[in-house]
Amino acid sequence: MIEKLKKAAERYEQLGDLLGGGQVLAGSAQYKELMKEFSDMSELIAKYEEYRKADERISEALELLEMGDKELADLAKEELKEAKEDKVRLEEELQLLLIPPDPLDGKNVVVEIRACAGGEEAALFAADLFRMYGMYADKMGYKTERMSENPTELGGYREIDFLVSGKGAYSHFKFESGVHRVQRVPETESQGRIQTSTVSVAILPEADEVEVHIDPSDITIESCKSSGAGGQHINKTESAVRLTHKPSGIVIECDEERSQFKNKDKALKLLRTRLYDMKMREQQESIAGQRREQVGTGDRSERIRTYNYPQGRITDHRIGLTLYTLTAQLDGDLEPLVRALAAEEAAKRLSEQ
């Protein structure tokens, strides 16, 4: 670890010289790239400096103890204890910082929620998850934007897609991909019996335009009347858009906006994201015999979490974590789960180094 830190410190100093010495033109693509690398390394170097100071404190305390001065001995012992504790803590933090970051962590994400087993109850729970994620995004300072939806008469969703925008959005939502199971008495149940329903959640990193090329000739765009609520205005105008991507067969309908132009823009954004997801999956499948962990793009059929309403319990099956604060989680307090899942991921990646 120390060798890695020394090399990182040398690189950080080199970057500082390049950026401050006028060797790279300010505002150029190379300058922006180097500035990002310099910025990304700042926390690691600052922690390394703390670690070195803790090491120096240990050496100084040991020297004082060797001097045999009784008046200073107690102070030296206390300083030695604190310095050793700081060194252990900083060593653990540095190990985590040395793990290469997930290149997708800084991206925006498209969240796709689909009602699965359970009929109308599953659709109602899909609406609950949409609310939960919206409140979590608000707590984290992210912006959400609906992209497409298929609502039910009782206020649920057969499916709903929305965009979460903000720095690090993917890093906070990537663990939500999978099947979410709910156990509760449905509003439509007159006998008071508990029903188990499932909803799938897919977390897709938003694709940049440069990452996915879409040939305009491969797309068919049709305008149509919106099927959602909205009154006379929507009934009289064809603002909704149906987009078909012929090579992949992907069909996207978007009617969230009254402007056909805005609906077209949202549909293209969603198409680009789904094609990017397909591209990622193809790349992963091409690496035969190798297990390449890509958090957030796993098998959607895997049950990852259970929400038990009668007991106020939420259980994440991947890490065996159970909390009896279900109401808080449904109100957007997902950080306890996210932190635990992130710690588990970090531990796995450390063991693979």
Would you tell me how many other CB atoms lie within 10 Å of the CB of residue 207?
A: 23
Residue 353 CA, chain-centre distance (Å), reads: 23
What pLDDT sits at residue 283? 56
Sign of CA dihedral 227, 233, 236, 242: negative
Instruction: Find the farthest-apart pair of alpha carbons in the chain and give their distance in angstroms, rounded.
Output: 93
What pLDDT sits at residue 302? 60
Residue 120's closest CA among 128, 112, 108? 128
CB 156 within 8 A of CB 233: no
What pLDDT sits at residue 344? 86
Residue 47's closest CA among 1, 81, 106? 1
For residue 105, the SS3 value is: coil
Domain topology for 109-207+292-352: Alpha-Beta Plaits (3.30.70)
What pLDDT sits at residue 210? 46
Residue 316's closest CA among 159, 177, 112? 177
Would you tell me how many other CB atoms lie within 10 Å of the CB of residue 264?
A: 18
Q: What is the DSSP letter of 185?
A: -
Q: Would the CATH topology of 109-207+292-352 be identical to that of 216-285?
A: no
Which CATH number is 216-285 given? 3.30.160.20
Residue ranges of the domains in the chain?
Answer: 2-97, 109-207+292-352, 216-285
List, run by run, the mean pLDDT of 10-residue segments along the chain (353 residues).
85 86 77 84 89 91 83 85 90 80 84 90 94 96 93 92 92 91 81 86 75 81 65 56 88 82 86 83 48 33 85 94 96 93 81 66
